[in-house]
Structure 1
Amino acid sequence: MKDLKKYAIIPATPEQLYLALTTEITARLWTGDVVSIDASVNGEFSLWDGAITGRFLELVPSSKIVQEWYFGETDKPSIVTLKLHEHKKGTSLEVRQTNIPDEDYENIAEGWEDPYISYLIDFYTDED
């Protein structure tokens, strides 16, 4: 099992980014795919038509989201912690994911960059 840490600057306020990560309609807009979100403690979620599934463990509005991601038959759950910090260019998103199965690590690491983070940046980038 491996752990991962990533940082990104998203051109949105922490409030906007929190809503994008916890509101079904907004998540559908930035992912461009099928999404299901029950943003409550123990509520389940699914992104990209089931490519990412899990449940919410902790929700601190505009600040922190803790999720358990499902990986089949693993002994320990993979825990994702998303921290949102104000930044002069929007929001600094801190991603920490623990207990990633070795065989899934490379795919998960790449997936955080593209599509997850890149889609959020594109969604909030002003294209006038």
Structure 2
Amino acid sequence: MKDFKKYYYIPATPEEIYMAITNPVTIQLWTGEVAEMSTEPGSEFSMWEGSITGKNLEFELNKKIVQQWYFDGQSDNSIVTIKLHPDKKGTSVELRHTNIPDADFDDMVEGWNSTYMGGLIDFFEGE
């Protein structure tokens, strides 16, 4: 198992980013895919046609999201924590993803950089 931590700069407010990653309508705007999402702790979520699934654990409005991501056959919880820090020109997004299976690590890092956070950055830079 491996952990991944990285900071991303996104040219949007923490409120805009929080909405973009917790509201199924706004998720669809930047991913182009239908998503299942709720800010109710304990609710299940699904993004990118089921490529990412899991359980929502904790929300702090406009500041923090904690989720458990599911990997087939994995018994240890893989936890994603996204913290939003206001910055002069937008938001510093602190990402921490724990217990990523070794075989999935490179794909997960690529997914975070290009698809998930990369998609958010492209969406807000394009506005």
Structure 2 length normalisation: TM-score?
Answer: 0.96
Shift of 1:38: 2.0
8 Å CA contact 2:24–2:34 kept in 1: the answer is no
SS in 1 for 2:34: coil
Q: Aligned partners of 2:108, 2:79: CA distance in 1, in Å? A: 13
Give 1:8 deviation, angstroms.
0.4
Residue 109 of structure 2 is aligned to residue 109 of structure 1: yes
Q: What is the CA deviation profile of residues 68-102 of structure 1, one whole-angstrom value per residue up to 9, with x for unaligned ones? A: 00001112110000000001121100000100000
Structure 1 gap ranges (5+): none
CA shift at 1:39, angstroms?
Answer: 1.9
1:126 CA displacement: 4.1
Structure 2 residue ranges without an equivalent (≥5): none
Aligned to 1:47: 47
Q: Which residue of 1 aligns with 2:61?
A: 61
| Separation in structure 1 between the aligned mates of residue 102 and residue 2 of structure 2, nearest angstrom | 6
SS of residue in 2 equivalent to 1:36:
coil
Secondary structure of 2:55's counterpart equals strand
- 1:122 to partner: Cα distance: 1.1
Within-5 A mapping of 1:18-33? 18-33=18-33
The one-letter amino acid paired with 1:30 is W
TM-score by length of 1: 0.96
How far residue 32 of structure 1 moved from its aligned partner, in angstroms, is 0.9
RMSD in angstroms over aligned alpha carbons? 0.9
Code of the aligned partner of 1:55:
K
Query: 1:44 Cα shift?
Result: 1.2
Q: What one-letter code is carried by the residue in structure 2 that aligns with 1:74?
A: Q
Identity %: 53
Which amino acid in the other structure matches residue 9 of structure 2? I
